[in-house]
Structure 1
């Protein structure tokens, strides 16, 4: 485990006869974009197909997809996409894969498929959906898939065991071991023990909380805390949570009933997901409890609680707009109480604290995870990962769903319970693992890129475009227009300069324009010159002046017009 063979791996060899190959397209070295492709006997099985949310250095990007280029020529070989649960980082890229081949069967639990079906309807895709439940088997070509109940922060989460002639692979999906879950569905350790007794050759296991010691705090501890918050609030209450966290929303509804408040759901995804959960019997709503946001804003503040999206600081979410004071219906006033009932997704900290500060500036009291127990994680900490390894007794571990620090911490847990270092495979996206005769090894790597979705378009935005956007956002934009008579090379009009995001007063460029004019005069002294060369003169001269004078590197766009 201490070695880093993944850094020097070359292209993988052909798949050996009788081998099970695993190719992670996402989720290793990052939180999100979970997607693993299994190959056996020339056929493929995809486990999860999620998105990664952009970071600050990816301006304008909505989500990041797995790189499907390695599947482009083999779409006909895909037997199914198996989904462990309905979070966006596990299902968000399904529409983009099904755009390439719409009839790939999508296998998952009832709630997971309901979320997927709604998502696919927006993309006008009519999918082939195969519903399974814990304990079921589903045959997908040479892959015998078996499903195991796990507890997570969304209903109907499943682990999947994949049985082939090469051996058995188990993917936990996201899980924890809450012993008193709100829906009564605990992680089925007996099933993991049974699989382990029969032999798990390769375990792919959630690593998100591998650095966190101990065992998870139960969801039931949140109820009394919410009850106390409701009791203390004498004005409007706003609770923000993940739009898929049905159990948390149920706790909010129960508290609202106990304290005589009506509930309004704010945010399109919140309304949609809770509607699906209610239809499937996963969310119990007392008759007359729900009101519209329009009704809520006309009620007395102490009579209503708003349940909103935006717990991760998303700028276009309902809570984000409230914090900026530009929500069309809801205006935050002094004395309101806002509860952020969610964890911080890595990378979102700055955006979340910006929302907290915005709400606080408007006079609201903000309750969040650091000030009260209003959320517990949906991922197993170190003690539970150790328990699973001891129960399942896998021959090899491939830590997944985590940044490098999480993967390595998970690997250390595995060696502490008896796995040898060579049985722990610390890999990253694109590293190929082959299971041959019960032995799993890293055999090569394929290049994995980032596929960006910008609006309705995917794949057209690349690193060059993002680099240009970063320059525009951080350094500004300077455009210079030159008008030249082509036959003589004479500059026939004064240079025109336009700037955005550099300085409020364009006069700061007056010394630079004089230098550019002199440089152009020298370049055109001998008669006609091509416009490309003049553009280079403008860019070089202006860029040098800006760097030396202001220590800045704005985007410089020269335009040479011939008349």
Structure 2
């Protein structure tokens, strides 16, 4: 990587405004780029490979960088207390003067959710379709991030960022305005599919532009990066239309209130609920601040359509009979502060479950969230609701391509190189095998992990090294202050509890002034375990009594006490509580 000072012309080229976006139909098609003898492109994933979520891909040419997506990941079960996980951008922070912009494929959390945390550190423009622009603006406003430069680019239009000519291609997903990216570089053309499926009866989004993808493939494609999330599934992904029909059928048969929970950003699903409510003369009420903000934005931008008077305020809901009420809520992933979970826990101020209510959970649990979603469903059933979820009814279909759709994309693009993206390692491996079966040279398929550096040039492709790519944890208002040591300590506390040994030492002799005091939390019951704790006090007392000379170093004392108690507790209980010595000198 060239780290020499930039010339004035380089700097002005890097920071100039992008060329105005123009539709591909009205602008002459760019000629296939010429490769210089030393030209190479670098692909550096910082998130989304080997995991579900946290999508972020870096594309570099010479001294110029673009970023594709900036997403978050929900915490896994072994991350106690963590709210969100975002990519490690230390590699980008060292090069932020070279970043031309962040290009967003669509508006789901795993592609835009990290922007409020990362954008203030990089301060670069964002390029995305109009709906993601609106969703990002709502998200940044909630996080008090101001003065962001967000440029709307409609599918079918192109922008120029330094040496990159980027064309947005319409791709059908479970949210409108999803886009694939065609990135023309001096080395060759890169196609990034974004999240996509082939839905020939989409609810509120344009179908995947197969014709344009075929044209791009005919021009010649250096590299394809394609969505691997549902590569395990054979055949084709069902149409979103199926969900609308199921919701409408359930709502039509329901005698009481109908509550539908889904992702706040799943605008097309919210439209299906509104359409069913109109059909069965129900009024729609929105529960959840984030859901409210997004619905208002989508109505204003025209992505949601609702007749006058359809949407009401929650405070008015008690005036209507149950069979006239439909609700849309957040909480499909069992988030503790979401509307549905507060309702299920009887903590919501305005909504309580009544016998005869119908609840539709129109989403599938993200890996790691299964147990909390199951607990929410159980609680709703116990309170008298009838709950429909993806295992018993077609109330959700995923937005990702299955095997036959992925094969079709390969046949249209016919790339020289292939990198599977967006998935856990098994998904990437299976997608690589699928690509090989479609004729891609196995030597040209790269299964990358977060942090790998892939270089492509006229001399071929190879992984040349790694960059930092660890998880960054968001815990309340703290970002990046929590590391693996803290998580291990939290896990230990949650499993075996803590024992605090308070040791009072005589300043003159260095010996214990009084018998130690030992307090436990989460380890043994204070009454039932009293004998065990008393015995451990005796062990610490004997340790000091057996010392031949005074121990003056507090660090040595702490270590000795921790070691002797840890061994004793494990021998007696086969558990390892966290032992915390506290020294007091008198």
For residues 85-139 of structure 1, give each alpha carbon's deviation from its aligned partner in whole angstroms, at most 9, with x where no partner exists.
111111112233321232x110001111111122223233311111101111101
Q: Which residue of 1 aligns with 2:389?
A: 368
Distance change (3 Å), C-alpha of 1:75 and 1:272:
same
Query: Cα 1:470–1:107, aligned 2, differ >3 Å: closer, same or farther?
Result: same
Output one character per residue of 1:321-373: Cα deviation in whole Å (capped at 9) or x when no partner. 12222222221122221100112212211111111111112221110111011
Residue aligning to 2:31: none
Are 1:337 and 2:358 an aligned pair?
Answer: yes
Report deviation, 1:538: 2.1
For 2:217 and 2:379, the matched residues in 1 are separated by 51
**CA displacement, residues 267-307 of structure 1 (integer Å, 9 cap, x when unaligned):** 11111111111111010112111112222245322221221
Per-residue deviation, residues 150-197 of structure 1 (Å, max 9, x unmatched):
001111111111101100101111011100111251000111111100
Q: Does 1:539 align with 2:559?
A: no
Summarize the Cα distance change of 1:268–1:438 in structure 2 as closer, same or farther, 3 Å threshold.
farther
* 1:534 Cα offset (Å): 2.6
Is 1:520 matched up with 2:548?
A: no
Residue 109 (structure 1) aligned to one of 107, 113, 129? 129
1:81 alignment partner, SS class: strand
Is the alpha carbon distance of 1:73 and 1:240 closer, same or farther for their aligned partners in structure 2, counting shifts above 3 Å? same
Aligned ranges for residues 283-298 of structure 1 at < 5 Å? 283-298=304-319
Residue 121 of structure 2: SS of its match in structure 1?
Answer: coil
Determine if contact 2:116/2:145 at 8 Å carries over to the other structure.
Answer: no
Determine the C-alpha separation between the residues in 2 that align with 1:402 and 1:71.
Answer: 23
Question: Post-superposition shift, 1:438?
Answer: 7.8
Give 1:527 deviation, angstroms.
Answer: 4.3
Instruction: State the match for 1:550 in structure 2.
Output: 573
Question: What residue is the counterpart of 1:41 in the other structure?
Answer: 62
CA distance in 2, matches of 1:273, 1:117: 10
Question: Cα offset for 1:472?
Answer: 0.9
Partner of 2:434: 413
Name the SS of the counterpart of 2:195 in structure 1: coil
Separation in 1, partners of 2:405, 2:365: 21
Superposed, 1:149-160 pairs within 5 Å as 149-160=170-181
Query: Per-residue displacement from partner, 1:361-414 (whole Å, max 9, x unpaired)?
Result: 222111011101111110011110001111111111100000111111111211
Q: Shift in Å at residue 41 of structure 1?
A: 1.9
Distance 1:232 1:474 in 2: 46
TM-score (norm 2): 0.91
Q: Distance in 2 between matches of 1:457 and 1:115?
A: 23
Bigger drift between 471-480 and 299-308 goes to 299-308
Task: Name the SS for the 2:138 alignment partner.
Answer: helix
Cα distance in 2 between the residues matched to 1:110 and 1:327: 34
Query: In structure 2, what is the Cα distance between the partners aligned to 1:12 and 1:554?
Result: 51
The secondary structure found in structure 2 opposite 1:346 is coil
**C-alpha deviation, 1:51, in angstroms:** 1.0
Q: What's 2:322 paired with?
A: 301
In structure 2, what is the equivalent of residue 118 of structure 1?
A: 138
Gaps of 5+ in 1: 1-10
* CA distance in structure 1 between the partners assigned to 2:296 and 2:67 by the alignment: 29
1:387 corresponds to: 408
Runs of 4+ deviating beyond 6 Å: 11-16
Match of 2:271 in 1: 250
Secondary structure of 1:90's aligned partner: helix
Instruction: Tell whether 2:163 aligns with 1:142.
Output: yes
Q: Could you tell me how far apart the structure 2 residues matched to 1:551 and 1:348 are?
A: 30
Q: Which residue of 1 aligns with 2:185?
A: 164
The CA deviation at 1:54 is 0.9
1:297, 1:313 → 2: CA distance? Answer: 26
CA-CA distance at 1:245 after TM superposition: 0.7
Is the aligned partner of 1:530 residue 2:550?
Answer: no
Give the alignment's TM-score, normalised by structure 1.
0.95
Which residue in the other structure is 1:352 paired with?
A: 373
Where 2:42 maps in the other structure, the secondary structure is: strand
- Give unmatched runs, 5+ long, in structure 2: 5-35
Report deviation, 1:209: 0.7
In structure 1, the residue matched to 2:448 is 427
C-alpha distance in 2, partners of 1:139/1:184? 26
Deviation of 1:467 after TM superposition, in Å, equals: 0.5
The whole-number CA distance in structure 2 between the counterparts of 1:215 and 1:186 is 14
1:510 aligns with 2:534: yes
Match of 1:8 in 2: none
- Classify the secondary structure of the residue corresponding to 1:61: coil
With over 3 angstroms needed to count, the CA separation of the structure-2 counterparts of 1:442 and 1:496, relative to structure 1, is same
- Offset of residue 12 of structure 1: 13
Residue matched to 1:401: 422
Match of 2:91 among 49, 70, 82: 70
Q: How does 1:133-212 map to 2 (within 5 A)?
A: 133-183=154-204, 185-212=206-233
Deviation at 1:498, TM superposition (A): 1.7
Contact kept? 1:234, 1:302, Cα under 8 Å: yes
User: 2:583 aligns to what?
Assistant: 560
* CA deviation vs aligned residue, 1:508-531 (integer Å, no higher than 9, x gap): 4122112222212223x6446333
